[in-house]
Amino acid sequence: MKTLFQNGTVINASGRQKADLLVSDGKITQIGQGIEATADMQVIDCTDLLVLPGAVDAHTHFETQILVGTDNVPYKSADDFHAGTRAAACGGVTTVIDFVTPLKGESLTAALDKRKAEAAKACIDYSLHMCLTEINDDRLGEMRAVVDAGVSSFKVFMTYAIRLTDDEFLRALRRSKELGTVIMVHAEAHDELEKNRADFIAQGLTDPWYHYLSRPESVETKGVERAIELAAIADAPLYIVHLACEGGLRAVEKAKKAGQIIYAETCPQYLHFTSDVYKRPDAANFVCSPPIKGEKSREALWQGIKNGSIDTIATDHCPFNLAEKALGKDDFTKIPNGVMGTENFYPYMLSEANKGRISYERVVELCSEKPAEIFKLSPNKGSLTLGADADIVIYDPSKEFVISQENTHSACDYTIWEGVALKGYPIQTYSKGKLVTGGRGFVI
């Protein structure tokens, strides 16, 4: 089946052109002006519309169990791979990269197989990062087999029950370097934040504002600085997930200037909200780690987006239902951490471009081209070029959209984005040439 996208403005990170785009058998086979429509083609009129590469959300946590509090209460994130990718696709995401989180004692390859079975419900393309939840000779040895199975990135945590010590982190960086992969890191100073949490709870300071105060800017900055130091010792590339603070950004900028290969990812929740959300009646719904920081950090992150210090935007989509969030109303340490975002992130960033804050090309670079490149999905993903997968979003810059739980598609029973008004919205999403959302109602 062939589809001809006629008369649109095709946007890549490298620039834009008024062009037609032809898709055959799920691939882009022609881009140019005046491509003739023939009887075997479905024609999509894209006049006054933008034709964009689908977004690559490189940080989701679908059907993921997390352990909360000192007694490690298990919670599962609200979206499974079907609901999560349905929501993602409705917002113009055509690839998600989720995580395999092996149990301690479990082999990486066994955990990968289990995760692939769960991910089979996805309605768009997916890939997986492998978390390293323990380091020993067996796990380091198995990393090769995981790479051979198509994984290009490993993730470590500096906090939570699955954190690594600095020595273990260093071993992981060295092994990753040997394998030509990249280590991703959740960077926060664990000992300091744990002490803060215990001190606040002991003083009866239990509401979500103390979630923020227990993990303030300095806690994240110290984590990021240490992670960068370890990457320098190992001379290995490092990808910092969900960067949320100015101090961390400065450390990234300094390391990049010194020639280190450091990638920084931030998320829309850190670009739109500030720590003031932790004073709202629904503060628990915004509890995520690292927490959303103050206005100075928000501004710095936007600056980092404009000047190139930030490489990617992803979502860290990990929502929990209201009743679960409410279980921590008398103790912030009992609130499951995580917020939603996969359906809103591309529309939010594109809306900011539409309002003139950055260019559409830069949004495509941050949300599609760069993550595809870093996680070795290009040239199939990340750009609309000859031979690439036809992962295409048709975007209407004139469509007004107010985000609500009712007009979005996550299985979660609220959204922190409720009431946020966007200028422009994706109206169709194609995965390898197949319409997955849009047109006459949602297809999936």
Judged by the rule CB under 6 A, the positions of this chain that interact with ligand URP are 61, 186, 288-289, 316, 318, 337-338
238 or 422, CB closer to Zn ion? 238
Rounded to the nearest 10 degrees, what angle do helices 217-234 and 246-257 cross at?
20
Give the shortest CB-318-to-Zn ion separation in angstroms.
6
Give the shortest CB-229-to-ligand URP separation in angstroms.
21
Q: Measuring CA to CA, how many Å separate 74 from each of 65, 67, 230, 307, 318?
A: 6, 5, 31, 40, 14
Which of Zn ion, ligand URP, none does 181 bind, CB closer than 5 to 8 A by kind? Answer: none
- Give the range of 127-135, 178-186, 215-223, 387-395 binding Zn ion by CB under 5 A: 178-186
Give the shortest CB-316-to-ligand URP separation in angstroms.
5
Give the shortest CB-238-to-ligand URP separation in angstroms.
16
291, burial (CB in 10 Å: exposed 0-12, middle 13-18, buried 19+)? buried
- Binders of Zn ion in range 265-324 (CB under 5 A): 316
Which of ligand URP, Zn ion, none does 337 bind, CB closer than 5 to 8 A by kind? Answer: ligand URP
Rounded to the nearest 10 degrees, what angle do helices 166-179 and 217-234 cross at?
50
Give the shortest CB-139-to-Zn ion separation in angstroms.
20
17 or 274, CB closer to ligand URP? 274
153 or 337, CB closer to ligand URP? 337
83 or 244, CB closer to Zn ion? 244
Closest CA to 394 of 7, 50, 29: 50
- CB atoms inside a 10 Å sphere around CB 181: 22
Give the shortest CB-43-to-ligand URP separation in angstroms.
43
Strand ranges (DSSP E) for 247-342?
Answer: 262-266, 312-313
The C-alpha atoms of residue 331 and residue 278 are separated, in whole angstroms, by: 13
The C-alpha atoms of residue 113 and residue 111 are separated, in whole angstroms, by: 5
Which of Zn ion, ligand URP, none does 234 bind, CB closer than 5 to 8 A by kind? Answer: none
151 or 435, CB closer to ligand URP? 151
Question: Does 186 engage in binding with Zn ion (CB under 5 A)?
Answer: yes
CB 188 within 8 A of CB 223: yes
Strand order in the sheet with 153-157: 55-57, 93-100, 125-131, 153-157, 182-186, 238-240, 262-266, 312-313
- Residue numbers of the site for Zn ion (CB under 5 A)? 186, 316
